Amino acid sequence: MEPGLTRSERRAATAARILDAAQAEFGAHGEDGATIRGIAQRAGVDPSLVLQHYGSKQALFALAVRPAPDLSADDVTAHLAEVIQIRLKELSPATRALMRSMLTSSEAASVMRDYLRERTENLASAMTGDDAELRAALMVSSILGVTLARHFFHLEPLVDADEDAVAAVADAWLAPLS
């Protein structure tokens, strides 16, 4: 028991620990490979607490893979360059879990589709031209491909790419958007 915390604060801390553990488990094993028992063990709690807090593995998965909200795209080129740099770094457990599961889980596919749609709409709203939505969809899809190629397919030279070299290529790639 954590001294000085109220019962509701302890409950919230336990729920957060379980969610963090779930993100790590889903990231390591995907939705199918992760288990309530493994999540509970990682969180240091009884498996019944996982279900008490989140109801089911599917409900916990939906929360664990929900992408964190992003900033609005006021400066399209700078925003996309930043996103590419972020996607080349280590993926968060939630992102890793979602990407690992999106082709085998209809729930994960739905979460990813909604996220990509939201990112596309946000980006398109900051662009000009009749084809803004199409260009935004192509950019969002390309960044997804870069993320998959680096972190799951280990495509050279993306795996060992120097950040400055990637930034230079990304700037040239994104220049027409300015």
Mean pLDDT within 121-150: 86
Q: What 3-state class would DSSP assign to 157?
A: coil
Overall number of domains in the chain: 2
**Residues 147 and 114 grouped into a single domain:** yes
CATH number at residue 22: 1.10.10.60
Going by C-alpha positions, the residue among 142, 141, 123, 118 that lies closest to residue 133 is 123
**Residues 93 and 163 grouped into a single domain:** yes
**Residues 42 and 114 grouped into a single domain:** no
Mean pLDDT within 114-137: 84
**Residues 80 and 146 grouped into a single domain:** yes
Mean pLDDT within 13-28: 85
**Residues 146 and 111 grouped into a single domain:** yes
- The answer to whether the pTM exceeds 0.75 is no
> Looking at the domain assignment, is residue 172 inside a domain?
yes
**Residues 138 and 83 grouped into a single domain:** yes
Mean pLDDT within 12-23: 85
> Looking at the domain assignment, is residue 119 inside a domain?
yes
> Looking at the domain assignment, is residue 48 inside a domain?
yes
Please provide the average confidence, as pLDDT, over all residues in the chain.
Answer: 80
Does 71 have pLDDT greater than 70? no
CATH number at residue 93: 1.10.357
Q: Find out whether 20 and 89 touch, Cβ atoms under 8 Å.
A: no
Mean pLDDT within 49-59: 80
> Looking at the domain assignment, is residue 2 inside a domain?
no
Residue 69's pLDDT is what? 46
Going by C-alpha positions, the residue among 43, 62, 83, 64 that lies closest to residue 166 is 83
> Looking at the domain assignment, is residue 44 inside a domain?
yes
Task: Identify the domain containing residue 144 by its residue range.
Answer: 76-177
Last residue of a domain, one of 64, 85, 103: 64
Mean pLDDT within 11-15: 81
Confidence of residue 40 (pLDDT cuts 50, 70, 90): very high
Q: Find out whether 122 and 72 touch, Cβ atoms under 8 Å.
A: yes
**Residues 119 and 33 grouped into a single domain:** no
Mean pLDDT within 133-147: 88
Between CA 112 and CA 99 the distance in angstroms is 8
- Higher-confidence position of 166 and 144: 144
Report, in angstroms and rounded to the nearest whole number, the Rg of the chain calculated over CA atoms.
Answer: 19
Residue 149: both structure tokens together: 């190629």
In this prediction, what percent of the chain has a pLDDT beyond 70? 87
- Higher-confidence position of 152 and 58: 152
Confidence of residue 66 (pLDDT cuts 50, 70, 90): low
Mean pLDDT within 90-118: 83
Confidence of residue 28 (pLDDT cuts 50, 70, 90): confident
**Residues 24 and 55 grouped into a single domain:** yes
> Looking at the domain assignment, is residue 69 inside a domain?
no
**Residues 103 and 163 grouped into a single domain:** yes
